[in-house]
Structure 1
Amino acid sequence: MVGKIDLKGNWQLALDHECTGENIFYNDNIFLPDTTSNARKGKVSDDCHTGHLTDTYKFEGYAWYRRTIDTNALKCSALELFLERTRITEVFVDGISLGVQESFCAPHIYDLTEFIGTGERELVIRVANVGYKTGGGHMTSPDTQTNWNGILGRIELIGYGAVHCKDISITPDIHSGTVKVTAEAVGAESGKAVITVLNYPDGSEAGESFEVSFSDGRLTAEYPMAENYKLWSEHNPYLYELVIDVDGDVSRHIFGMREFRTSEGKFMVNGRETFLRGKHDGMIFPKNSYAPCDIDEWLRVMMISRSFGINHYRFHTCCPPEAAFIAADMLGIYMEPQLPFWGTVTAPDEDGYNAYEQEFLISEGFAILKAFGDHPSFCMMSMGNELWGSKERINEIIGMYKKLDKRHLYTQGSNNFQWFPCVVENDDFFVGVRLSKNRLLRGSYAMCDAPLGHIQMLKPSTVHSYDSIIKIAGSVHEEDNSAGGTVQIQFGTTMKTVSASESDDDFVPDIPIVTHEIGQYETYPDFDEIEKYTGSLKARNFEIFRERLKNKGLLHLAKDYFYCSGQLAKACYKEELESVFRSKLLAGFQILDIQDFTGQGTALVGMLDAFMDNKGIITAEEWREFCNDAVILAVFESYTPLSASEFVFDIRLVNYRPVSLYGKKVIYRFEWEDKCCTGSAVISDDSVYTDICRSTITMPYVDEITSAVLTLEVEGTDIRNHYEIEIIPDLKEVGLEGVHIFRELDSEAERLLDEGRTVLLFNKPENYVEGFYCQDFWCYPMFSSISRMMEKPEPVGTMGLLNDVSHPALKGFACRKYSTPSWWDIVMSSRFEILDGKAEDKRVIVRMIDNFERNHDLAMLYEYNKSSGKVVVCTSDPDKLMKSNEGRVFLRSVVDYVRGVT
């Protein structure tokens, strides 16, 4: 490049809704770069969507952008128009079409060389956000960045010298200490170029300039790095800039000296084992409704992710702009873009083969590699999300990319073939949620994708590991429930029937295994967020949810719903992530998500909101206790040990840091009330996974539930963790003397009420929601709808307890406002009565939070006055309560209250 002209600024605008290209009137202006929606062009929409945010200036069609350019302004021999990020474009100069380009992900570059030196010209760019050859995944989805129309990022005229380099590829070799550079030499068959390497970003020299010759129109060179060169990784993201100068035409390229490979089922960065701590990213930026092209904004969000222990981004059916790769380069984040595809890949000789779509997707992959492949953060590439179809064709496409560019690792996709996972020859790593129908690799699932996970079905503990699932002993021999060679699957926000592959029950990948989209525990909406949507995207879904809650007479509980649901979600995420870190045979995870997802029913699954702002549920410091490059874990059977029992726990250390912790002391503290006991052990191993010690603590004798905290830390480091324990009284029986207990309000109960007595009613409500302890998965509106389509059981859809801790009925069951493990047996033994429209005269003591679609008023323990007396209603099964320690303590508390008010 010898110079460039920035074309940002005012452009004339014409919106062509009918896509005719006729009678175009430029009756408006727009400041580019921007989108028509963000610039509030067109007619304002009154739509109100509940499944995603509402684009109040949605425009789909042709948008025509016009301005003049001066082709005399650059003294150059070749001239290009560079459009960093847009939709389908056609460029016209003085009415002459220069062709059409269609990439979602890569820049559109048009050759304007023929117009050099011809003075002022009319430049028109037609941008179409209709007529795509493929759906576009989250590049175009209303669930994430919307199907915007516009031109984003750099809009430039770029001038080149008579001889210049293009299609430059940089391949570092950390073993030889060299950088291989290849490029196409344009303008001359042979010549010389000077290669220099600088430190980035300060521009200081990192080595001597190196002159190379090129011939046959190709430049190939190996640049020797200085002896003290630095490696790039998450722990030391050191960057260099390679400069190529051909007779004054200069090009600059960021790179890092790194090696990202696999070995024995693990990822290796520069020869050291690493663990992918990934987040899903659909490029959600609700302020402007598109992914930014400026580095600062990507640095902002990625620094927040790093503060939450994240070192890996998996882009769901999308690829970010170059600014994201540069920010990831600077912060040490391992990036995995995906092709913008979520569907079925068929071979040319199969039914349903779509040549136009497939050719576009293949070319899109090549464009991604060409545009961003030099960045050290670009470590992996995926063919798409939850693909079906021809394994052979998918493998063939991966092979095309590998043949071109061996600098990255490749995978066939995320959760491909769902219940029938497989590995193809060209897979470098496997990403999925199961290894067969019942061999599950995460803790939670949708009901339509049952069986459910261990966090949904088992009482909270810290013992679960996926190692026994990955390394099975013998054959599993599961039943194949597909009929006629087909199976129904969840597909996006709906379902479809696909051809079933033969299930390999003994499937064990011999490549790294990454567990896919773990988590998905939602929180109730925080309606204060509505005011943050100051752009063209509006949270009208939140407004509707708020109105629904108000119509149920429950709006006064909104803050409590948000807080308590968030506390349960936090606890579920902790158990989920610790299960992953306990699994030696896993190579990483991709969480969905630390950030709210704005679509697919409105899935508020983040500890951060859609803007990447903290919701106030958990600090980044606490989250890093169980999600970081080093994690200290306690392994024990139950969060609710009995009074005076032996509490046994193992301490394990997982350390992916490049520094040794050998010889450091691990200290544990067990604190309750004003008492504390401590212990310590020395780290005697330098492995990634280290069993530190087994400890036993005798629980104090307690007569009521007592809170305790087990804290672990590695002395002299930031590595710590803590566990909130509830010590349960060892209550053998519950005295029921003097309490009037009924299963229904019969005549005897009515007589006692007339006398002013209090009765305890163990009611089996007719209208109820089944008791379910775990947080709802993703969001109820989406998955209840899919379950109905598939004629499968619907999710329970509840979001944790809201307890009236001030009520004397809970005096003997000391608890928190929200769900904690002491409630597990009780909740799972209960039905929650639907009190809609009946609760005005009732005081609810133990309430279950319902999802924002139904907003049922759900109660398990409540009371009301009747006649001259009082009815205390409990919808738990008393026989089941009697079978657990927590159930008996809860029952005693309720009985003591009823006895006391009789």
Structure 2
Amino acid sequence: MIGKINLHGIWELFLDYNCTGENVTYNENIKLPNTTSNANKGKFNEERVTGHLTDTYKFEGWAWFRRKIDTNALNCTSLELFLERTRITEVFVDGVSLGIQDSFCAPHIYDLTEFIGTGERELVIKVSNVGYKTKGGHMTSRDTQTNWNGILGRIELIGYGAAHCKNVVITPDIHSGTVNVTADIIGVESGTAVIKAVNYPDGAPACDPVEFTYIDGRLIAEYPMCKNFKLWSEHSPELYELVIDIDGDISKHIFGMREFSATDGKFTVNGKRTFLRGKHDGMIFPKTAYAPCDVDEWLRVMKISRSFGINHYRFHTCCPPEAAFIAADILGIYMEPQLPFWGTVHAPDEEGYNAEEQDFLISEGFAMLREFGNHPSFCMMSMGNELWGSKERINEVMGLYKKTDKRHLYTQGSNNFQWTPCVVENDDFFVGVRLAKDRLIRGSYAMCDAPLGHIQTDKPGAYLSYDSIIRPEKASAASAVSEDGTVQIQYGTTMKTVKATEADADLVPDIPIVTHEIGQYETYPDFDEIEKYTGSLKARNFEVFRERLEAKGLTHLAKDLFYCSGQLAKACYKEELESVFRSKLLAGFQILDIQDFTGQGTALVGMLDAFMDNKGIISPEEWREFCNDAVILAIFESYTPLAGSDFYFEIRLVNYRPESLAGKNVVYRFECGDICETGSAIINSDENYVDVCNAVVHLPAVDNITDAVLTVEVEGTDIRNHYELEIIPDVRKVSPEDVHIFSDVSTEAEKLLAEGKTILIFPNLDKLENSIEGFYCQDFWCYPMFREISNMMKKPEPVGTMGLINDISHPALKGFACKKYSTPAWWDIVMSSKCEILDGNSADKRVIVRMIDNFERNHDLAILYEYDMCGGRVVVCTSDFEKLMSSPEGRVFLRSVADYVRDVP
């Protein structure tokens, strides 16, 4: 490049709703770069939907953009129009079409050389966001960045000299200290090019310039780096810029000296093991409804991710603009873009094969590699999300990329073949949620994808590892396939029937295993967030949810619903992530997500909202206790140990930092009231997983539930963790003899009430029809989406509840000291209960233990409540009495309730 003209600014605009190209009248202006929606162009959208945000100026059709350009302004030999990010474009100069381009991911570049020196010309760009060759995944989804229309990022006329380079490929070799450079030379068949490396971003000289000869229009060079070159990684993201000078035509390319590999089931960077701590990313930016093309905004959000211990981004069926790769280069983030596809891949000889779609997707992959492949952050590439169809065809396409570009690792996709997972020849790593139908490698699932995970079915603990599942001692059950060879699966926000083969129940991948979309624990909406939507996207879904809550008369609980559901979600995430870090055979995870997801039913699954702002549920420092490059873990069976018992725990260090921690002192501290016990041990290994020590603490005898905190830390570092325990008093027997207990308000009960007595009701749960099953774990993803999918698939609906709100000031809980929100002490009680629906009765029924319902139903749910009747008081507990009696926590709860009923005047 020898010069460029920035075409940012005012353009004339015509919105062609009917896509005819007739009567094009430029009747308004728009400032580019922008989208029509973000510029408030088009018809105002009055729609109110609950499944995603509302695009208030949604436009789908052809947008015509026009302005004048001066072809004399650059003293160049060839001239190009560069459109960094757009949709399907057709470019016209003085009414002459220069062709059509349709990449979602790569810039659209048009050759304007024939117009050089001809003066002022009319430039028209037609942009279409209809008629795509494929659906486009989250590149076009209403759930994330919307199906916008417009032109984003750089809009430029670029002038080149008589000879210039294209398709520059930079391949660092950290072992030889060289950089292999290839490029196509345009304009001249042979000549010389000078290559040098400078530091990025300051441009200071790093290595000496070297002259290379090119012939037959092809540059092939081996550029020697300086002897003291620096390596790029998450811990030391050292960057260079390669400058290629061909007779004054300069091109610059960011690169890093790094080698990203897979060895012995682990990822390595420059020969050292790393562990992927990934987040899902659908390019959600609610203020604009599109992914930014400026580095500063990507630096902002990625710095927040880094503060939460994230070192890896998996882009769900999308590829970000170059600015995201630059930001990731700067911060040391390992990027995995995906082809914009979520569906079935058919082989050419199969019914359903779509040649046009596959050719487009294949070309998109090559475009991604060509445009962004030099960035050191571009480490991995995926063929799509939750694919089905021909394993052979997917493997073949992946092979095309591997043959062309060996700088990256490749995977067939994320969670492909769902219940029948496999590894194909060209897979460098595996991403999935199970290795057979009952070999689960994450903690939570939708009901339509059952069996459920351990966090949904098991009492909270800090001990589970997936290692025995990854390498089982005996074979597991294979997934069932129907007689016609099909299986029903979740597909986006709906379901579909696909062909499937019997799963290999003995699948044990020898390549790195990354657990897919872990987490998905939602929180109740924070209605204060509505005011943050100041752009063209509006949170009308939140407005509807708030109205539903108002209709149930529960608006006064809004803050508690958000806070208490968030505390349970946080606890679930901690257990989920620590299970991953305890698993030596995993190579990483991709969480869904630290950030709220704006669509697919509105999935508020983040500790951060959609704007990447902290919700106030957890600080980055606390999150990094269980999600970082080094994590110290306490391993124990239960968060609710029995008073007077011995509490045994192990301490394990997981360390993927470059520096040695051997010889460091690990200190643990157990605090319970005035009691404080401490201990220490020395780290004796540099391995990634170190069993530091075993320890035991004798627990005090207490009369009520008593909080205790176990803290573990590596002295002299930021590596620490803490565990909030609840010591359960050893109540062997509950004596409710003088408490009036009934299964309903019988005639005898009414007599007692008339005497001013208080009675305790334990209803027959089998007959409690107006109720919902008691379920401790946080709702998965969001209830409305998976309720609908379960109904389509004729499978059980999710329970859909979101944890407890406890009236901790109420005397019924005086003997069951607890927090306002769900904690493990409640697990046995909730799982032994049904939640009674009290809709419309909240005025006369006082809820003591309330279950939070989701924002679709907003039922008024109770496990323990009371009301006045006939001059007396009725206390209702919708738990199973016998199950409570068989549980230490249940007995303490019964004792507390019985004491209250007994003491009520």
Fold-level similarity (TM above 0.5): yes
SS of the residue corresponding to residue 133 of structure 1 reads coil
Encode CA deviations 1:247-270: one digit per residue, 9 max, x unaligned.
Answer: 000000000000000101100000
SS of the residue corresponding to residue 328 of structure 2 reads helix
Q: How far off is 1:880 after superposition? A: 0.5
Matching of residue 99 in structure 1 with residue 99 in structure 2: yes
Report the TM-score when normalising by structure 2. Answer: 0.99
Q: Counterpart in 2 of 1:889?
A: 892
- 1:861 paired residue among 846, 860, 864: 864
Q: 1:127-146 maps to which residues of 2 (within 5 A)?
A: 127-146=127-146
Q: Counterpart in 2 of 1:827?
A: 830
Q: 1:220-259 maps to which residues of 2 (within 5 A)?
A: 220-259=220-259
Give me the whole-angstrom Cα distance separating, in 1, the residues matched to 2:769 and 2:187. Answer: 82
Q: How far off is 1:483 after superposition? A: 3.7
SS of the residue corresponding to residue 687 of structure 2 reads coil
Amino acid aligned to 1:777: F
* Number of residue pairs aligned between Structure 1 and Structure 2: 902
Q: Counterpart in 1 of 2:840?
A: 837
Amino acid aligned to 2:290: Y
SS of the residue corresponding to residue 134 of structure 1 reads coil
Q: Counterpart in 2 of 1:594?
A: 594
Amino acid aligned to 2:628: N
Amino acid aligned to 1:279: K
Q: 1:420-431 maps to which residues of 2 (within 5 A)?
A: 420-431=420-431
Give me the whole-angstrom Cα distance separating, in 1, the residues matched to 2:177 and 2:692. Answer: 38
Q: How far off is 1:685 after superposition? A: 1.1
Encode CA deviations 1:732-790: one digit per residue, 9 max, x unaligned.
Answer: 01011211010111111000000100000112332000000000000000000000000
Q: Counterpart in 2 of 1:803?
A: 806
Q: Summarize the Cα distance change of 1:516–1:109 in structure 2 as closer, same or farther, 3 Å threshold.
A: same
Matching of residue 786 in structure 1 with residue 793 in structure 2: no
Give me the whole-angstrom Cα distance separating, in 2, the residues matched to 1:746 and 1:603. Answer: 44
Give me the whole-angstrom Cα distance separating, in 2, the residues matched to 1:283 and 1:107. Answer: 17
SS of the residue corresponding to residue 805 of structure 2 reads strand
Q: Counterpart in 2 of 1:491?
A: 491
SS of the residue corresponding to residue 386 of structure 1 reads coil
Q: Counterpart in 2 of 1:562?
A: 562
- 2:855 paired residue among 844, 852, 855: 852
Q: 1:548-627 maps to which residues of 2 (within 5 A)?
A: 548-627=548-627
User: What are the ranges of 5 or more consecutive residues in structure 1 without an aligned counterpart?
Assistant: none
Encode CA deviations 1:122-156: one digit per residue, 9 max, x unaligned.
Answer: 00000000000000000000000000000000000
SS of the residue corresponding to residue 887 of structure 1 reads helix
SS of the residue corresponding to residue 292 of structure 2 reads coil
Q: Counterpart in 1 of 2:517?
A: 517
Amino acid aligned to 2:17: H
After the TM superposition, list the runs of 4 or more consecutive aligned residues in structure 1 that deviate by more than 6 angstroms: none
- 1:879 paired residue among 873, 879, 882: 882
Q: Counterpart in 1 of 2:903?
A: 900
Amino acid aligned to 1:387: L
Amino acid aligned to 2:495: M
Q: 1:126-525 maps to which residues of 2 (within 5 A)?
A: 126-478=126-478, 480-525=480-525
Amino acid aligned to 1:575: E
Q: How far off is 1:838 after superposition? A: 1.3
Encode CA deviations 1:37-68: one digit per residue, 9 max, x unaligned.
Answer: 00000111100110000000000000000000
Q: Counterpart in 1 of 2:726?
A: 726
Give me the whole-angstrom Cα distance separating, in 2, the residues matched to 1:542 and 1:268. Answer: 43
Amino acid aligned to 2:25: F
Give me the whole-angstrom Cα distance separating, in 1, the residues matched to 2:188 and 2:853. Answer: 70
Q: How far off is 1:476 after superposition? A: 2.0
Give me the whole-angstrom Cα distance separating, in 1, the residues matched to 2:530 and 2:220. Answer: 55
SS of the residue corresponding to residue 903 of structure 2 reads helix
Q: Counterpart in 2 of 1:740?
A: 740
SS of the residue corresponding to residue 280 of structure 2 reads strand
Q: How far off is 1:459 after superposition? A: 0.1
Q: How far off is 1:477 after superposition? A: 3.7
Amino acid aligned to 1:882: M
Matching of residue 27 in structure 1 with residue 10 in structure 2: no
Give me the whole-angstrom Cα distance separating, in 2, the residues matched to 1:160 and 1:477. Answer: 62
Whether the 8 Å contact between 2:832 and 2:884 is mirrored in structure 1 is: yes
Q: Counterpart in 1 of 2:110?
A: 110
SS of the residue corresponding to residue 774 of structure 1 reads coil
Q: How far off is 1:686 after superposition? A: 1.1
Give me the whole-angstrom Cα distance separating, in 1, the residues matched to 2:274 and 2:478. Answer: 33
Whether the 8 Å contact between 2:436 and 2:476 is mirrored in structure 1 is: no
Encode CA deviations 1:170-200: one digit per residue, 9 max, x unaligned.
Answer: 0000000000010001111110010010000
% identity of equivalent residues:
77
Q: How far off is 1:481 after superposition? A: 4.7
Give me the whole-angstrom Cα distance separating, in 2, the residues matched to 1:86 and 1:839. Answer: 53
Amino acid aligned to 1:592: L
Amino acid aligned to 2:230: K
Q: How far off is 1:502 after superposition? A: 1.7
Amino acid aligned to 1:336: E
Q: Counterpart in 1 of 2:64?
A: 64
Give me the whole-angstrom Cα distance separating, in 2, the residues matched to 1:112 and 1:393. Answer: 38
Bigger mean CA deviation after superposition, 731-740 or 5-14: 731-740
Give me the whole-angstrom Cα distance separating, in 2, the residues matched to 1:898 and 1:666. Answer: 48
Amino acid aligned to 1:792: K
Amino acid aligned to 1:853: E
Q: How far off is 1:479 after superposition? A: 5.8
SS of the residue corresponding to residue 801 of structure 1 reads strand
Q: Counterpart in 2 of 1:90?
A: 90
Q: 1:669-748 maps to which residues of 2 (within 5 A)?
A: 669-748=669-748
Give me the whole-angstrom Cα distance separating, in 1, the residues matched to 2:779 and 2:625. Answer: 24
Encode CA deviations 1:390-436: one digit per residue, 9 max, x unaligned.
Answer: 01100000010011100000000000000000011000000000001
Whether the 8 Å contact between 2:438 and 2:476 is mirrored in structure 1 is: no
Give me the whole-angstrom Cα distance separating, in 2, the residues matched to 1:811 and 1:512. Answer: 51
Amino acid aligned to 2:776: Y
SS of the residue corresponding to residue 68 of structure 1 reads strand
Q: Summarize the Cα distance change of 1:844–1:484 in structure 2 as closer, same or farther, 3 Å threshold.
A: same
Give me the whole-angstrom Cα distance separating, in 1, the residues matched to 2:89 and 2:684. Answer: 62
SS of the residue corresponding to residue 330 of structure 2 reads helix
Encode CA deviations 1:9-54: one digit per residue, 9 max, x unaligned.
Answer: 0000000000000000000000000000000001111001100000
Q: How far off is 1:478 after superposition? A: 3.7
Give me the whole-angstrom Cα distance separating, in 1, the residues matched to 2:134 and 2:289. Answer: 21
User: What are the ranges of 5 or more consecutive residues in structure 2 without an aligned counterpart?
Assistant: none
Give me the whole-angstrom Cα distance separating, in 2, the residues matched to 1:299 and 1:474. Answer: 47
SS of the residue corresponding to residue 298 of structure 2 reads helix
Give me the whole-angstrom Cα distance separating, in 1, the residues matched to 2:44 and 2:678. Answer: 64
Whether the 8 Å contact between 2:420 and 2:479 is mirrored in structure 1 is: no
Give me the whole-angstrom Cα distance separating, in 1, the residues matched to 2:415 and 2:112. Answer: 44
Matching of residue 752 in structure 1 with residue 752 in structure 2: yes
Q: How far off is 1:347 after superposition? A: 0.7
Amino acid aligned to 1:173: D
Q: Summarize the Cα distance change of 1:647–1:250 in structure 2 as closer, same or farther, 3 Å threshold.
A: same
Give me the whole-angstrom Cα distance separating, in 1, the residues matched to 2:548 and 2:447. Answer: 25
Amino acid aligned to 2:842: A
Give me the whole-angstrom Cα distance separating, in 2, the residues matched to 1:217 and 1:158. Answer: 21
Q: How far off is 1:482 after superposition? A: 3.0
